[in-house]
Amino acid sequence: MKTVALFAKSSTILLLIAALGCQNQPSDKHLQMEADQAQLEANLELYKDIWDEIINGRKIELINADSFDENVTALATADGDIVGIENFKAYYNNYLTGFSDAEFTIVDAFGQGNKIVKHWNFKGTHDGEFFGVPATGKKVDISGTTLVEMKDGKVAAEQDFMDLLDFYTQLGLM
């Protein structure tokens, strides 16, 4: 009888130890969630750094295959999407040629999975041609939001949203 009771206690203790040991082991789902979070954090860091350098550092050449998908897309025009690194670079270069004192600030950026939401502010003096509009000499201060899709640690697509009526009014075009 004592042997049976001792065996039962020993078995219970071993099962308890095994169960507790299993609880400390991360599941595959937990490991995947940690990997996804690490990738998101890397994407956010890359994204913030690259746009700071492109606009504030005036380094349009950083729109390249190191940080942007070869088919990067700007979903920003009524005439259609801007697709490909060279077209994307030419599109955003309008901000550098149109505003020699451009100041770009990322107010906040956050995301989930391969998606990033960026709240930004853009300031500058319209002293050069901007998307075909001759310089007005007017100062602008506009905020907006960009939806971003990342792919394999690179920017794959962007869609900008801002109050265009306010922007055009600040430029003296409305």
Residue 36 has pLDDT above 90, yes or no: no
**Structural domains counted in the chain:** 1
Q: Region 140-167: what's the mean pLDDT?
A: 96
Query: Amino acid identity, residue 167?
Result: F
Q: Take residue 170 and report the two structure tokens written for it.
A: 């600040």
Residue 124 has pLDDT above 80, yes or no: yes
Residue 16 belongs to some domain of the structure: no
Distance CA 71, CA 65 (A): 10
Q: If you average pLDDT over every residue of the chain, what do you get?
A: 88
Residue 41 belongs to some domain of the structure: yes
Residue 23 belongs to some domain of the structure: no
Residue 159 is predicted with a pLDDT of: 95
Handedness of CA 117, 121, 41, 67 (dihedral sign): positive
Name the pTM for this structure.
0.78
Residue 17 belongs to some domain of the structure: no
Which residues does 172 contact at the CB level (< 8 Å), separation at least 6? Answer: 136, 138
CATH number of the domain bearing residue 94: 3.10.450.50
- Condensed to tens digits (0 to 9), the pLDDT of residues 42-77 reads 889 989 999 999 999 999 999 999 999 999 999 977
Q: Region 8-20: what's the mean pLDDT?
A: 56
Q: Are 166 and 142 in contact (CB under 8 A)?
A: yes
Residue 48 belongs to some domain of the structure: yes
Range of the domain at 105: 29-170
Q: Take residue 103 and report the two structure tokens written for it.
A: 């100041």
Distance CA 44, CA 32 (A): 18
**Residue 164, by phi and psi: left (phi above 0), alpha (psi -120 to 50) or beta?**
alpha
Residue 8 has pLDDT above 60, yes or no: no
Residue 22 belongs to some domain of the structure: no
Strand ordering across the sheet containing 103-112 = 82-83, 68-74, 154-162, 139-151, 115-125, 103-112
**CA gyration radius, the chain:** 26
Residue 116 belongs to some domain of the structure: yes
Residue 138 is predicted with a pLDDT of: 97
Residue 130 belongs to some domain of the structure: yes
Percent of residues, the chain, with pLDDT higher than 90: 68
Tell me which residue has tokens 């789902």. 29
